[in-house]
Structure 1
Amino acid sequence: MKLILTQQVSGLGEPGDVIEVRDGYGRNYLVPRGLAIKWTRGAERQIESIKKARAAREIATIEHAKEIAAQLQAMKVTLRTRSGSNGRLFGAVTAADIVEAVKAADGPDLDKRRIEISSPIKTLGAHQVSVRLHPEVNATIDLNVVAA
């Protein structure tokens, strides 16, 4: 099955890339989750707009990505959220919450789609979150979740 990626998928490619995958993977996973659309000639025209949008958001060079990674790793980010008496949160911490907490700590602007939360953050305390800044550069944010 021939698809066009609309979001970055680890191991497959970047938004706007035309990929060939097995029918079941594309039909049951990529397309329903909005990660890809079916390839057509009309959809191929959309690739250019997707690539232009990606170029505007993307961190252009590895050096710039390394600077941002060093800045993020030096930061201590605190996120205030509602929690119960036993330390469990009402809900979970989302990527958008983390982006707002980094901005509040005078950090760089991040794209929430680049934040990778390995397991849902549902408790108070210290957590580590990975940020994919560039295909070759990842950063780790030390996140401290405290009660509001």
Structure 2
Amino acid sequence: MKVILMEDIKSLGKKGDVVDVSDGYARNFLLKGKKGVEANSKNMNDLKLQRANEQKKAQENLEAAQELGRKLAAGQVEVSIKTGEGGKAFGSVSSKEIASAVEEQMGLTIDKKKIQLKEQIKMLGTHMVPVKLHAKVTAELKVVVKEEA
């Protein structure tokens, strides 16, 4: 019997896969536990429409991430930190501070987890910080660290 999986099953396949299983396994486990539905023409058509919708959403998310990446790459943010004598910095600039500065200065909302700092910024000057917006989109954000007045 052909069955469309409604969730991932370790030994069988991933959600949305059409698998051929024995009638008893399909009736007693997959269909009864709502882990799959029979692969008839209506359900196959529903699956096709669902996949097309998911592809469309994925494409829209990619385009939105690319647009946000262009905006981030075109702009820059300024962050101030306290410094002592000789320009030695007290503390550092974290991804949380960069995310809030982007929201204040550029009006864009980005998650602090998407900012990929290898380590916190502890020096004054201009730094290029990678921001991973999507699996296929990584933008470079210009962060200018200045001395707090």
TM-score by length of 1: 0.57
Higher mean alpha-carbon deviation, 65-74 vs 110-119, is at 110-119
CA distance in 2, matches of 1:85, 1:116: 30
More strand by share: 1
User: Stretches of 4+ moved more than 3 A in 1?
Assistant: none
Alpha-carbon distance, 1:130 to partner: 0.7
Q: Which has the larger radius of gyration?
A: 2
Aligned to 1:133: 133
CA distance in 2, matches of 1:118, 1:66: 23
Aligned to 1:85: 85
Note the aligned Cα RMSD (angstroms): 2.0
What is the CA deviation profile of residues 2-56 of structure 1, one whole-angstrom value per residue up to 9, with x for unaligned ones? xxxxxxxxxxxxxxxxxxxxxxxxxxxxxxxxxxxxxxxxxxxxxxxxxxxxxxx
CA distance in 2, matches of 1:101, 1:117: 15
Identity of aligned residues (%): 34
Conservation of the 8 A alpha-carbon contact between 2:130 and 2:140: yes
Unaligned runs of 5+ in 2: 1-59
CA distance in 2, matches of 1:92, 1:134: 27
TM-score by length of 2: 0.56
Alpha-carbon distance, 1:126 to partner: 0.6
